[in-house]
Amino acid sequence: QSFKLLGFLDVKNVPCARESVLYGSLGSLVLGLGHFLATSRVRRSCDFAVGGFIFTMLGYWFYCRYNFAQHRIRQRMLREGMKNKILFEGSSLDPERKQTGNERSNS
């Protein structure tokens, strides 16, 4: 069963969405409760809690998506490297193959 936040953000299937919401709610609790304990102003503490939720959720969202994109780029580079290794292994284009003196002079 998937859970849609605000009707469009599918928390189960979108990468980083679940963690962002969880960290946002934790940031909201910490900031709102901390402000309430410091000032005893309920309305202002609720405002801080909402702001803390938005700030923490968006901050972690961008951090997580950046790391996710880097991970996918590294996977793509590794996949292409493995494909090239298989393709060029044993041929004259293989960078790991040691060339003899005759092969160097012919090139």
DSSP 15: T
- pLDDT tens-digit series, residues 49-83: 999 999 999 999 999 999 999 999 999 999 998 88
5: phi then psi, degrees, rounded to nearest 5: -90, 130
The share of the chain scoring above pLDDT 90, in percent, equals 52
Domain spans, the chain: 12-84
- Output the pTM of the full model: 0.68
Asked if 57 and 24 count as a contact pair (C-beta separation under 8 A), the reply is yes
What are the E-state strand segments in the chain?
Answer: 4-5, 9-10
Mean pLDDT of 3-19: 73
